[in-house]
């Protein structure tokens, strides 16, 4: 059979990060039912996945700002490393370190959002951070 293809074989080298499919790729998830057991990387994400990660980012930011507020009012950070950062570096360094530790984890979770384990992890973290935010509002509720 006569080969009709022209040009070089595209599969010989990896796809570059910045390519024409960066913002309009086609892969949204698993292609076959057997793939459900494996981690799949997608080009596009569902709205609910964006909402879940955005909610988690919002809850992490709310935790950081509420923690700063509590620390300014004489409370103590329970994490000894962040407590030292706040005492010796101030609010700016505290926020930088807190987000510096949080954001890479969120990026990794988002990259693996198609994995069942990552989905469970995101749900777990949303519940934990929501409870933490409620816990941080308790002093304000009883300070009347």
Tens of pLDDT, residue by residue over 71-107, are: 998 888 888 999 999 999 999 999 999 999 999 999 8
Q: Please give the backbone phi and psi of residue 108, each rounded to the nearest 5 degrees, phi first.
A: -65, -45
pTM: 0.68
Q: Does residue 124 lie in a domain region?
A: yes
Q: Please give the backbone phi and psi of residue 56, each rounded to the nearest 5 degrees, phi first.
A: -65, -40
| Range(s) of the domain holding residue 90 | 63-144
Q: Does residue 117 lie in a domain region?
A: yes
Q: Does residue 33 lie in a domain region?
A: no
> Is 60 exceeded by the pLDDT of residue 69?
yes
**Residue 114 C-alpha from the chain's centroid:** 13
Domain count, the chain: 1
Q: Does residue 34 lie in a domain region?
A: no
Residue 39 structure tokens? 């981690």
Q: Does residue 86 lie in a domain region?
A: yes
């Amino acid at each position: 059979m006569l080969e009709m293809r022209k040009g070089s074989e595209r599969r010989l080298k990896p796809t570059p990060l910045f390519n024409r499919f960066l913002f309009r790729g086609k892969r949204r998830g698993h292609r076959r039912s057997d793939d459900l057991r494996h981690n799949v990387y997608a080009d596009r994400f569902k709205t609910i996945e964006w909402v879940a990660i955005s909610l988690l980012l919002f809850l992490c930011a709310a935790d950081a700002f509420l923690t700063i507020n509590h620390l300014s009012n004489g409370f103590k950070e329970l994490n000894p490393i962040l407590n030292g950062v706040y005492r010796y570096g101030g609010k700016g360094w505290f926020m930088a370190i807190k987000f510096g530790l949080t954001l890479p984890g969120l990026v990794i979770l988002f990259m693996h959002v198609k994995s069942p384990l990552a989905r469970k992890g995101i749900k777990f973290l949303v519940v934990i951070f929501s409870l933490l935010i409620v816990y941080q509002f308790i002093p304000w509720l009883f300070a009347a």
